[in-house]
Structures are given as structure tokens and as C-alpha cells.
Chains A and B, each alone.
Chain A
Amino acid sequence: MTNPIEPDPMTDEAIAWAVRVGDPAFDDWEGFERWLAADPAHAAAYHAASAAEAEMVALLAAEPKARPLPDPAPAPVARPAWRRWTIPAAAALAAAVVGTVAVERQMRPSAPVVYETAAGAHRTVALADGSSAILNGATRLEASGDDARSLTLVHGQATFTVRHDEAHPFRVAVGGASVVDVGTRFDIVRDARETRIAVSEGAVDWQRDGNSVRLNAGRSLRVADGSSQVELADVAPDTVGGWAQGQLSFDGVSLAEAAADLSRTLGTAVAVDAALAHRPVRATVRLDGGAARVMPRFAALTGLRAVRDGAGWRLAASP
């Protein structure tokens, strides 16, 4: 009761090791062994710190579970609801992450404005600065509560038409990078581990970790998370964001990606036989008539077969 143990340098070192060792990617086991061997007290400090931390984590893991997702229109709450979210529901976590980024940038924790669509739905969003965004299905876009020109595409696809303002660039955070407009119409797809950007008018800069790539109209970029390989390609400017005009264009993307685009746009599951997943697709398909019309149409254009698969569809090789 009298002497709370104050963290001392050895405890700090032990904590630093506990943090490093705690990452699944940790691989400096020999370095860790050397630290432990240097002083028998090191192991004791490491064990004590790890045990104390594990106990705290166990307490947190037992805390009352998440509330339902709040309404997209953010209600003013004294304490942001995301603090309580511990279930790894993608949307909830994404909101949490975005909230944090916004806070970090601006040092003023205003709740972000959330725009969301269900799979198969479209939604046009007028942003406060006069720009607009069209959201494809299964998409989540968040605008900073303090700055309508600072957005985050959490997942899904959106086409942006931007009111250009040199002094105050329009910025979309996506996949750990930023896309900064230079007077523009552009489209972003955010999948689980990958970002794709295509520009139809003007130009954007894609920026990450101090590097920047300029994309002019008619150019597209694709980057996988954690990869330094950025793929650039040409894209027909009039097909960018075509999903919003009732058509989808594929210009050499893999069948698996095309299926994800179809699924998002049509609001139905679209599976692909594993053997076909990497096959490149070049086609433009009209979107009228719903999945029952679009899937056979797409299959006919790509030399495949579209078959019903439970509630969704599967793309298979032609017999």
C-alpha cells in the first residue's frame, strides 16, 4: 500500500521488449536472448511486465461489448462510441481508425461525418465545399468533422468531382496514403489490401511516406498495402467512374477484381473459380436489368459461364 512500484529503467526496457516480442512479426529472438542473459533480473522484469499487461488485457477483453453501429449521421456524444468497440467488425474498426487519424491531423476531435452504402446501392453525396462524391455499393467514406475537404475512403469505391482550390487541396486518405486533387474527376477503389485510382479529368497526386506520384487524366494507379511497387497504367478517361453512369469497364484487371467490382455494384455475391481468378478481363458491361441480366451479359463478353450459386453468382469456365 505504501510503495507503488514506479517504472524504472529496467522496467522500461522490459516493456520495450514486451512490445517488440508481442508482435507476431518479431524475429530478433537472439537479440532478445542476449538482453535476458545480460542480467537475471531482466527475465524477472520482463515476466512481471508481461503478466501485468496480460492481466489488464484480460480485463479489457471482458468489458461490455460493442453497441450497435451508430447512425451514419453522427449524434453528438460526450464520448465517441468507437472507444467501446472491441469486436473486429470491419466497419466499426474502420470508423475507429478514421476517427483517430482525423484527431491526429487536426488535434481537435470532432466526430467525422460518415457516408455509407449497402451493397448494390449508389449514393451521391454533396460535400460542404461544393465538391461531390458518388459512392458505389458497400462503400464507406468519411469526412473530417472539421474539414469537408479532408476525407477517408475506408472501403469500397467512390468517384469524386472536385471543386479545385489551390490554397486548400482536396485530400482523400486511402490505404495509408493520400490522394490530393489538382482539379479533377477521379475514382478510387479501396479493397481489403489494395487501392486503385483512376483519373478522368485534371490530375491527382498520390502521396505516401513522402513519395508522390502524379496521375494525369487517362492514367490509373494500383498499389497493394505494404508494397512499394506502384503499378501505373492507361485508362480510357470516359470509362472512369463508369459504374455511376450505368456501365462497368474492365481494362486488364484480374477476373477476381472484376468480380469484386460486380459484387459491389450489383449487391450480390460473385464468386470466381480459383483457376480463373488471375485471368485478365477487358470488357465494358452495361448495368441495367439487375444481376440476373448483368451476370450473363458479362459472362458472354468474357467467354465465361455465369451460374447461380446460392443467393449469388459464380463465374466458371465455358464447357
Chain B
Amino acid sequence: MHELAITEDMLSLVLSEARKHDAQKVNRVQLRIGEMTGIVGDSVRFYFEQISKDTIAEGAILSFDFVPAAARCRDCGHQFDIADFVWSCPKCHSLNIDIVAGNELYLESLEVT
């Protein structure tokens, strides 16, 4: 839903990192997106195509590394992927869990020439 705002911030980060390295062209953008963020890759691609026009990132390929939501139980220490969005420890059924993965929203790397 808010992919446009995220994509705008991502593009400006891409362009500023590329400028720092005197890049002429951005060929590939590697992103790391957690499941909890609900960000839809196709939607980011669509906006990126539109707003990167006439920049050195125009035509760059976006690659996504999706991270599943995971949690650690405070009571028994068990770490587990959150399957089907069930929020309790599969081992001891405690609700005392901390979400440890799935909130990622990172620009990992760029491939530039």
C-alpha cells in the first residue's frame, strides 16, 4: 500500500550511493525485505520503473531477498519461523516470544558500471 513512498526513499538511497562511487549506470539493485513489512515486490518494481526514468538507475533490475518472519521464545529459548502467522512457541506454547526476523527493509548492494 505504501510501496510508492518506500520506493522513493529506496531510489534516492540508490542514487546517492551510486554517486559516491562515481557510477555511470546502476545495473542491479539487491534488496532485503522481511515478511512482516508486507511489501509487495511487484509493486516496488512497478513504481521503480516509473520514478527511475531519466536517472542513472533507469532499467536497473531489482532483486529481492525475502526474509521469513521468525521468533524466539523467552521461556524455552526455541527459535522458529512463524508459519501461518501463529504467534506462539511450537515447543512450549508460550506467548512470550520476541520477533527476531521479518522486519527487514534493506538496500543490500548495487551493481554499477
Please determine whether chains A and B interact with each other in the same assembly.
no
Report B's interface with A, CB cutoff 8 A: none
Report A's interface with B, CB cutoff 8 A: none
